[in-house]
Amino acid sequence: MTWMPPSNKKWHMIDYTLVNRKFRSSVEDVRVYRTAAGVIGTDHHLVRTKIKFHLKTRAKTTQKQFTGRLNKMKLHDPVYIQAFQAVFSSTTTSTSPTITTNDKYAELSTTLKNISENFFGDTELPRKHKEWLTNEILDIVSEKSQAFLSWQNHRGTRNEKMYRTQYRTLRKLAKKKVRERQVEYWDALNLEIEQAIKQHDPVTAYRIIRRLKRGKAKIEEMPIYDKQVDLATIQQIPIRQLSSNEQSRQDKPPSLKEVEEAIRRMKSGKAPGMDGISADIIKAGGHALAIQLHALFVEI
């Protein structure tokens, strides 16, 4: 039964699942989930039909495949970071002078990706929640769902009023928490945009604005060059030549401290490059990875 009218205490079956006669044999199970109705606050119960299509599929592997995503919680966990650095420090890379720099970097990137997948790889597809949702709100919604189920199980009894009151209290609390969290979320975003503008970082500010707009900039409509300017005009622009001291200073190999500072300033959360290594993994590598990168830079 899926619905009980407020006028009486009798259940009625008014929700159905329509299945074509061709696929009627594919229906395995039909169930009613009363808990799901408490989440959205409706008087109808959720009807779920389990259908198994008889199609040829590939052999499924029991081992979980790496989805290419990194678990952000693990990337900020000191325990995982220390374990990752310990395993990476124990690995050895080729230092033979006969091996080219490209081969050395390919070996380093392969080792780094394999170790990072074991520690920070996310084998489960992430659930898509709103950005302002917190674990506290999700826990309250779960309690509200259980309270709704208890109310439905005690309808028509002397304790129905008590369970109904508990459900309505949790429903009001969930709405209140959602409103408060939304206000906090928008205030934090506004503050982040203001700080980016004050720090002369328009890239971050416009990135947040574009993310909120859920759209991309129409760069195809932007002019690439001025039609009135020809190559001869561009060639007449004076270009200041670097002095010998400045050129020698720029050609000087970077120090280990400079490499570590450059790694520290890298922005997190960016997409990885062609080698598949993101800035978060490089930061998690710590001092051991900085030493190997510094050796490659000096060799180049």
Among 98, 101, 92, 94, which residue's Cα sits nearest to residue 299? Answer: 101
The alpha carbon dihedral of 222, 224, 230, 234 has a sign of positive
Per domain, the residue ranges of the chain are 1-53, 72-121+246-299, 133-216
Pair 71, 122: CB distance under 8 Å: yes
The C-alpha atoms of residue 111 and residue 115 are separated, in whole angstroms, by: 6
Task: For the full predicted model, state whether its pTM sits above 0.85.
Answer: no
Q: What is the largest CA-CA distance in the chain?
A: 94
Burial letters for 139-152: b for 16+ Cβ neighbours within 10 Å, e otherwise? ebbebbbebbbbbb
* pLDDT tens string 87-109: 998 887 766 777 888 888 888 88
* pLDDT tens string 200-255: 878 778 888 887 776 554 545 445 555 565 666 667 777 777 777 877 777 788 89
Chain-wide mean pLDDT for the chain? Answer: 80
